[in-house]
Amino acid sequence: MPLLHFVQSIDGYVTNEGIEVIAQKLELATAEVTAVSTFYTQYKSKPVGEYHVGICTNTLCAVMGGDAIFESIKEHLDIENDGVTADGKVSVEHIECNAACDYAPVVMANWEFYDNQTVESAKALVDGARAGNPPAPTRGPSRLVTYKEASAVLAGLDDGLAREGVQVGEPTLLGLKLSKEGKQ
Ligand code: FES
C-alpha cells in the first residue's frame, strides 16, 4: 500500500506502469496489485487535481451543510463529482464519513481537515487552491501540500509537517471528558 501511494507521489495517480513495477518488486500478479488499488478510494485510477477536495456528504455533515457545500462547489468550479478543473488545479469528490463528525460539516483537501465549513469558506479554499495559495488546514500542518507531496508522506516519506498544528480539537476532548464522566 505505501508503494501505491509512492506511485501517486510520482505520477499523480495509480498508473498501469506503476502497478507493473510494484507487481515486479513484490513478485505479485498485476491483478493482485490492481485489486488492492481499486478497493481503497484513496487510490485514484485517473488524474486528480493538484489539490484534491473531498466533501463529506454522510448523514451528519449532509444535514449540517455538506450537501449544500458539495453542490455549490461543483457549480462554482463547473465540474461534476470526480471532476477536475480545466487547469488541473482542483478536483472534487464526495467522501464518506472521516470520523470527524464533531466538526461537521467537514471538507478535506489532500486528506487534511477543514472543519466546520460553510459554502463561503469552502469556496475560499478551492479559489485559494486554484491560485496556488490555499488556506491552511484547520487541524494539523501549517500549510496544505500538493496531492503528490501528500502521497509521498503516505508512502512513508516524512515531510516534517505531520506533527505541526492542532492535533485534537476542543469538541473531541469534550466528548472524551463527558465519556469519562459517564455522561455519554
Ligand atoms: S459525517 Fe462527515 S465526518 Fe462524519
Among 67, 106, 107, 111, the mutation site with the greatest number of ligand 1 atoms within 8 A of its Cβ is 106
Q: Which atom of ligand 1 is nearest to the CA of 105?
A: 2
pLDDT of residue 162 exceeding 80: no
Give the Cα separation of 181 and 184 in Å (integer).
8
* Residue 165: C-alpha distances to residues 65, 112, 138, 139, 147 (Å): 26, 12, 8, 6, 19
Give every strand in the sheet of 107-109, ordered side by side.
Answer: 83-84, 90-95, 51-56, 107-109, 112-114
pTM score, whole prediction: 0.91
Q: Cα 69 to chain center, whole Å?
A: 16
% of residues, the chain, pLDDT over 90 = 82
Q: Taking residues 78-103, report their average pLDDT.
A: 93
Residue 159 identity (one-letter amino acid): D
- The domains of the chain are located at 2-39, 51-145
Contact predicate 142/136, CB 8 Å: yes
The three cell numbers of residue 139 are 487541524
Extract the annotated binding site. 56, 61, 97, 101
CA of 106 to the centre of ligand 1 (A): 7
Question: What is the distance in A from the centroid of ligand 1 to the CA of 99?
Answer: 6
Residues in a beta bridge with 108: 54, 113
Residue 63 pLDDT grade (very low, low, confident, very high; cuts 50, 70, 90): very high
Task: Name which of 93, 110, 106 is nearest 59 in CA terms.
Answer: 106
Binding-site residues for [2Fe-2S] cluster sit at 56, 61, 97, 101
pLDDT class of 184 with cuts at 50, 70, 90 = low
Question: CA 161 to CA 29: how far, in whole Å?
Answer: 35
Backbone phi, then psi, for 152, in 5-degree steps? -65, -40
pLDDT, residue 131, reads: 95
User: pLDDT value at position 149?
Assistant: 96
Distance 8 CA to ligand 1 centre (A): 25
Pairing outcome for strands 51-56 and 90-95? parallel
- Per residue in 24-35, pLDDT (tens digit) is 999 999 999 999
CA of 155 to the centre of ligand 1 (A): 25
Q: CB within 6 Å of ligand 1 — which residues?
A: 56, 58-61, 97-98, 100-101, 104, 106
Enter the CATH code of domain 51-145.
3.40.30.10
- Give pLDDT tens digits for 124-153: 999 999 999 999 999 888 899 999 999 999
Distance 166 CA to ligand 1 centre (A): 19
pLDDT score for 163:
75
**Which atom of ligand 1 has the smallest separation from the CA of 104?**
2
Give DSSP secondary structure letters for 5-54. HHHHHHHSS--HHHHHHHHHHHT--HHHHHHHHHHSTTS-SS---SEEEE
Residue 4: closest CA among 48, 161, 12: 12
